[in-house]
Amino acid sequence: MDTMTWHDKAEALSFRTQAFINGHFVDSASGETFEIINPATGHLLAHVARCTDQDVELAVRAARQAFENRVWCGLPPAERKAILLNYAKLIDEHKEEFALLESLDMGKPISDAMGYDAPATARCVQWNAEAIDKVYDEVAPVTEGALALVTREALGVVAAIVPWNFPTVMAAWKIGPALATGNSVIVKPSEKSPLTAILLADLAKQAGIPAGVFQVLPGFGHEAGQALALHNDVDCITFTGSTAVGKKLLSFAGESNLKRAFMECGGKSPHIVHHDVKDMEKAAATAASAICYNQGEVCTAGSRLLVHSSIKDEFIELVKKYMANWQPADPLESDTRVGAIVDATQYERVLSYINIGQSEGATLAYGGKPVMGHTDGFFIQPALFTDVTPDMSIYKEEIFGPVLCVTSFDSIDEAIQLANDSEYGLAAGIWTSDMSTAIKCSRALRAGTVFVNNWDGGDMTMPFGGYKQSGNGRDKSLHALHKYTEVKSTWIELD
């Protein structure tokens, strides 16, 4: 029986901090590093290679060479599948290491990292591997005098720039389909959470992915990230992060080589609770978890709660009751449900929105206090605001923390109007016992994902992405597999 605590395991953990370029772990070309701080303790965790344009140049050259030599894209799909299945198995075997690094790096509870992040990463690579020798190309229905082929080919060099909230899973959503389709992939993890991407590189090498096909460049967005996005020999930039940076990357693609640019961006997702909700307790518990899980640092966090006015008071009391179960605590304790906010900047940002909400006239009905003052970590008790109106910035802007805004409505048309009154369109949810209301709502909601009588349902078979300023691409499912390919039409004239 394993008697070590997660703290013991964290103590014993050794991990890499270098970049991974052309099959080797290397320091950054400049020799510079940046600090990684554990947000639960404020202690220094590591110095990590700080890659800049010189490292980008080396990595892009290696990626291009691997692509042109066809060491990966030229393999039969079944062979790529076998190597990627091996990769998925290795990821699964290292799940404790992934979970620990994720928790130490960005503050999420170890049980979430073990229960979701690590297995979802392995599953994503496995799913894409299994798909790749089952997708067929097309023969177009044309004249007898020709054979018209519609085939898909890898894009070439794909740069994946990813965020810190689900560092490995967000990387896997790009790596899985991009590698399966034969591309060379360069990952630029967030400067706030680079450690698991480096472990992904280690395991990719062990799995047999050839040099240059998978590389990792830790570093800052305005340095390594920007150099990748502006590079003329990168064929695709695939991004998950904020809308502000997503917009920049689209313009970098336009300024450079018109590289394919897929953006998965922010959200301010509305969670509608109609008066005919079947199970009020379940809906309230879900409304609490939809904003508290992962410290509210979730792109699809249910941050706007729209409740029918006839049940508003009762429902808010229930949500408060369930929110009380989400108290921040040490992320390395197995029963912790809320960990630390990722860093000092994000911590200040969340607290400042809690102040703004009060000064705008909303009522802070629960929580919202900094807690765990005996640590040097960044812990905030989840907050619930009532009396929120659509003109308030806490209603409109993505806070990316555990702050829930409650507004009421009197008719389903008003709920839809309120829900859609956002520059974002990532996710939306509706609780009702009337299937017609559910379907009418799900059709009217301008969001990439709609949850009916749940929040956060879905798996690898379902596309994930946003309407409006929440993005322009889809991760997961065969939709993601296809986006890492070009479509070629070949017309063969017959004698």
Q: What Cα–Cα distance (Å) separates residue 22 from each residue in 61, 64, 185, 201, 213?
A: 9, 11, 11, 11, 8
Distinct helix (H) and strand (E) counts, the chain: 17, 23
- C-beta closer to ligand NAD: residue 238 or 381: 238
Residue with tokens 């389909």: 177
Six-digit token string for 219: 């570093």
Cβ neighbors of 428 (< 8 A, separation 6 or more) are 269, 270, 271, 272, 419, 445, 447, 449, 450, 451
Polymer length in residues for the chain:
495
Q: Which H helix or E strand runs over 44?
A: strand 44-49
* Minimum gap (Å) between residue 356 Cβ and ligand NAD: 18
The residue from 191, 223, 264, 398 that is catalytic is 264
Known catalytic membership, residue 414:
no
- C-beta closer to ligand NAD: residue 260 or 308: 260
* Minimum gap (Å) between residue 458 Cβ and ligand NAD: 12
Query: What is the rounded CA–CA span in Å between residue 290 and residue 292?
Result: 6
- C-beta closer to ligand NAD: residue 6 or 164: 164
CB 366 within 8 A of CB 329: no
Q: What Cα–Cα distance (Å) separates residue 147 from each residue in 55, 135, 488?
A: 45, 20, 14
* Minimum gap (Å) between residue 310 Cβ and ligand NAD: 32
Q: In the complex, which residues of this chain contact ligand NAD (CB under 6 A)? A: 161-165, 170, 188, 190-191, 220-222, 225-226, 229, 240-242, 245, 248-249, 264-267, 299, 398, 400, 426, 466, 470-471
Query: What is the rounded CA–CA span in Å between residue 470 and residue 268?
Result: 9
- C-beta closer to ligand NAD: residue 315 or 464: 464
- C-beta closer to ligand NAD: residue 330 or 398: 398
Crossing angle of helices 77-93 and 95-106, in 10° steps, is 70
- C-beta closer to ligand NAD: residue 28 or 226: 226
Query: What is the rounded CA–CA span in Å between residue 167 and residue 190?
Result: 8
Residue, CB closest to ligand NAD:
221
Active site residues: 264
